[in-house]
Chain A
Amino acid sequence: MAVNTEAAQPYRADWKRGGLTSWITTVDHKRIGILYIVTSLFFFLLGGLLSLFMRAQLATPNEHFVTRGQYNELFTVHGTTMVFLVVVPILAGFGNYLVPLMIGARDMAFPRLNALSYWLFLLGGVVLYSSFFAKGGPAKTGWTAYVPLSELQYSPGHGQDLWILSLHILAIGSLATAINFIATIHNMRTAGMTWTRMPLFVWSIEVYAWLLIVILPVIGTGLVMLLLDRQVGTHFFIPDKGGSALLYQHIFWFFGHPEVYVIILPAMGMISEIIPVFARKPIFGYKAVAFSTVGIGFLSMLVWAHHMFTVGLGWGLQSYFMIVTLLVAVPTGVKIINWLLTTWRGNLIFDTPMLFALGFIAIFTIGGLTGIYLAAFPVDWQVHDSYFVVAHFHYTMFGGAVFAIFGGLFYWWPKMFGRMLNEKLGKWTFWLMFVGFNLTFMPQHFLGLMGMPRRIYTYGHGGLWEAYNMASTIGAGVMAVGVLLFFINAFRTNRHGKRAGNDPWMADTLEWLTTSPPPPENFTQPVPYVGTARPLRDLRLKLKERDERNGA
């Protein structure tokens, strides 16, 4: 059963049976997972389009592709979209689809709550994009919405209010999902799956969920205060009336910094699933990788003010936040070393998921190292709020998280849809994205060091400023072609792609035991007792042994 055969009768996908209503009423974690992923990919196209407009505007000095007001809307909605409507929910989608399968469960702990989470996510996205039609247009204060700029006096109109509403809705949905994940992981693991036999992706979703539970109420509070300031006449954040502009930054970053680890940890979890399968080895240092996930999650809650090194904090505080921030590099380094050593003496197979995983290591290493410049606060005083920071977080959030997500899409696509994505197109996607990514964001480090602040809609300098900006814009175009190829791939293989069978990659974890796509009840036969972290490999070996014995 565990041995892959393409001829194996594929299960007729549950989602091909019903019409639209079956999607609206579904409480199946797999359908909900697919809804999350497809919706996030749609928002990814929208957010990506916004970034292409920005790059067009910045390609040459004194460009007039968009107006100053539009540009501010573009980067605000781009950032909000990519964080709240793309990466966090697509990871929730993968988590939804994979966690019950990986732990041998029938569904999530609370299927109806799960459906509610998805619909809240969609609603939050619709509210954000509806603000384009609001009085005064959408919010234009960046994804951070710093006060007092986001207060009524400086940001009239309804865009900022809709932004707050959207984030509230998304936060409630995320909170419900997080609770659901924890209940599922803690209670529904199959026989024998102890904590140290759990797939590393499930570990990362566990930490993802705990972080969300800690931080979402905090940003919710901050957003309520901002809304009250704007609509009721309170002045939590209005200095003229006794409020504090810094308080908002503390609240925002106490949420905002762990939020980026909410994004990167499950992405790292995916990498930890993919590399061993394509190296034909176990992960090097399972416990170190699992515990470093917990370690990064914990430290992420202690470092928020490294986003505030230029606000004039006391020296003691700045020193503390530098040291704790530097400490994050330790568990992160442990992960990178363990992934590298997982490839050591392996039988490396360079299918597209593996290319994205290796690309992730190559790029994320750079994003991690530039974090050290930002942690050392006197250096941060130079590079803070410059394009250096823009480059840094795209190296972690795009070159890191999004590359891992693409690896995950190529890896689990066959499980979700029963057909393989085309490898040739997949490799083109990877190389275009890899080259395009570095061409886009590497020069932005240089621009930041040369003095280009972020969030400016135009600049007057020629020379290297123009050359680096032009390179960046060209790179964005190259990346866009790569992303487009992925969508072409998905549509083309939908009907005519190679059948996947249960386990096309000869993988290690339980989701590959069942058919692709799995039936509504997930597993048609009993899930074997889990004796190690690689139950499917154990099963394969056992079957092989039995065959040999029978043959002999």
Chain B
Amino acid sequence: MLRLFLALPAALSIALASAATAAADNGLTPVTPESPNAHAIKQTYWVILIITGVIFVLVEGALIVFVVRFRGRGRARGQDGAQIHGSTKLETASTIVPVLILAAIAAYVFVKLPTIKNVPPANAAGGSLKITVEGHQYYWKFDYPGGQTAVKTMVVPLERVVELKVVSPDVIHSWWVPSLGGKIDAIPGRTNHTWFKAERLGFYEVRCAEFCGLEHAHMTGYVHVVTPTQYASFLAAHKGASPALGREVFQGVCATCHGFAGQGDYGPPLKGNAVVADPAQLEKLLREGKNKMPAVGATWDQETMTAATTYMKERFGGG
């Protein structure tokens, strides 16, 4: 019995480990990390998973063993069990052992913490790239050091350290790209910082993790990791009030409520709408909001505004 009891946790840990590694991103562990901080978080997760896994098996195992072993077997209710009132030795042990286990977990966190929180020094790919992330109801806006603005999709070069300054002009949001590290809140009146260094090309999903209102579910976006050449052309295309930015604003901001073809959804259809055809009126609406329409553009610079109104007029304002 005892041997079985000790073998059980080992067997289950192995089963758990193989299940978790067999198929990636099945929910047993955090998603595949693609940045040094995300790697370190996942390693910490693994250490806790193994320790708590063993405790889980010991406790649930003891529960099952005791239930089976000491079941009444139809004995009368009047028949007492062993009248054991406690054991000071055992109580002391059951206090000290958990303290030691928890101390080990805390120590591991402190060992891993520098890799997670400290921004690594600049590398061969150039100095760090500093981007300001603005969480808005209900979209993400990115300001690049060269003055470029992007909405919904943040384009960054591979293997470059990206430092994020995370802010919000309205309510609290939370920046979360599971593959590129943990989340950090965008809080009005505060500036928060985080970073990542993407190790693989591709799209990584961004979510807003703090409930921010009606369209919280659709406050999504992407980090698009590209080659340095692609990054350079992205920057070039986003100079000034570019059509590229106009399209992003429509897709990232307007389409959430008005539909991806502007056909109308929660908000009215855009096609043939008189306000959309008039950049001045549209700017006023975007800056101030009206009824259900929030002031989505309250903090936009003139370039972003022009890009948006121009794009909207060209796409929906005509006849």
Closest to B109 in A: A376
- CA gap between A455 and B91 in the complex, in Å: 41
Find B26's partner among A284, A288, A361, A446 (CB 8 Å cutoff): A446
- Looking across the interface, which residue of chain B has its beta carbon closest to that of A68? B214
Whether A330 pairs with B82 at a CB distance below 8 angstroms is no
- Contacting chain A: which of B125-133, B189-197, B238-246, B247-255? B189-197
B3 interface residue per 8 A CB criterion: no
Give chain B's interface residue range (CB within 8 Å of chain A).
35 or more
- Digit string of A274-310 for contact with B (CB within 8 Å is 1, else 0)? 0000011110111110000000000000000000001
> Does A358 belong to the interface (CB within 8 Å)?
yes
| CB proximity of B121 to chain A, nearest CB, Å | 19
Q: Is the CB of B44 within 8 A of A376?
A: yes
Q: Is B85 an interface residue (CB 8 A)?
A: yes
Name A449's contact: one of B28, B44, B213, B214 (CB within 8 Å).
B28
User: Per DSSP, are chain A's interface residues mostly helix, strand or loop, or mixed?
Assistant: helix
Q: Mark A336-365, 1 if CB is under 8 A from B, else 0.
A: 111011011111111000000010011001
Contact between chains at B63 and A361 (CB < 8 Å) = yes
- Also in contact, A382 and B95, with CB within 8 A (given A344-B84, A347-B81, A372-B52): no
Which of A142, A239, A340, A464 is in CB contact (< 8 Å) with B63? A340
Give a binary string over A305-340; 1 marks a CB under 8 Å from any B CB, 0 the rest: 000001110010001001100110110011011101
Q: Among the interface residues A246, A446, A450, which one has the most CB atoms of the partner chain B within 10 A?
A: A450
Q: Given the known A-B contacts A280-B79, A282-B84, A315-B117, are A453 and B209 also in contact in the complex, defined by CB atoms under 8 Å?
A: yes
Write out the residue numbers on chain A whose beta carbons fall within 8 Å of the beta carbon of B52. Answer: 369-370, 372-373
Q: Does B1 contact A (CB under 8 A)?
A: no
| Contact residues in A for B91 (Cβ distance below 8 Å) | 285, 288, 334, 338
Give every chain B residue within 8 A of A323 (Cβ-Cβ): 106
Whether, in the assembled complex, A434 has its beta carbon less than 8 Å from a beta carbon of chain B, the answer is no
Q: Is the CB of A365 within 8 A of B215?
A: no
Q: How far is the CB of B195 from chain A (nearest CB, A)?
A: 12
How close is A344's CB to chain B, nearest CB, in angstroms? 6
1/0 per position for B196-222, CB-CB distance to A under 8 A?
Answer: 000000000101111111111100000
Residue of A281, A323, A361 with most chain B CB atoms under a 10 A cut-off: A281
Q: Is B78 an interface residue (CB 8 A)?
A: yes
Cβ-based interface call for B235 (8 A): no
A69 touches B (CB below 8 Å): yes
Bound CA span A148–B170, Å: 8
Quick check: B72 and A347 within 8 Å, CB to CB? yes
A468 at the interface (CB under 8 A from B): yes
> 15 A-B contacts, Cβ less than 8 Å apart?
A72-B214, A146-B211, A246-B187, A279-B81, A286-B85, A287-B86, A312-B185, A330-B95, A336-B59, A369-B52, A376-B48, A379-B45, A381-B184, A382-B178, A382-B183
Query: Could you list 17 further interchain pairs (A-B, Cβ under 8 angstroms) beyond the known A343-B67, A358-B67?
Result: A68-B214, A68-B266, A148-B170, A280-B79, A281-B83, A312-B187, A326-B105, A333-B98, A336-B59, A344-B82, A376-B105, A382-B182, A386-B209, A446-B26, A450-B26, A457-B216, A458-B217
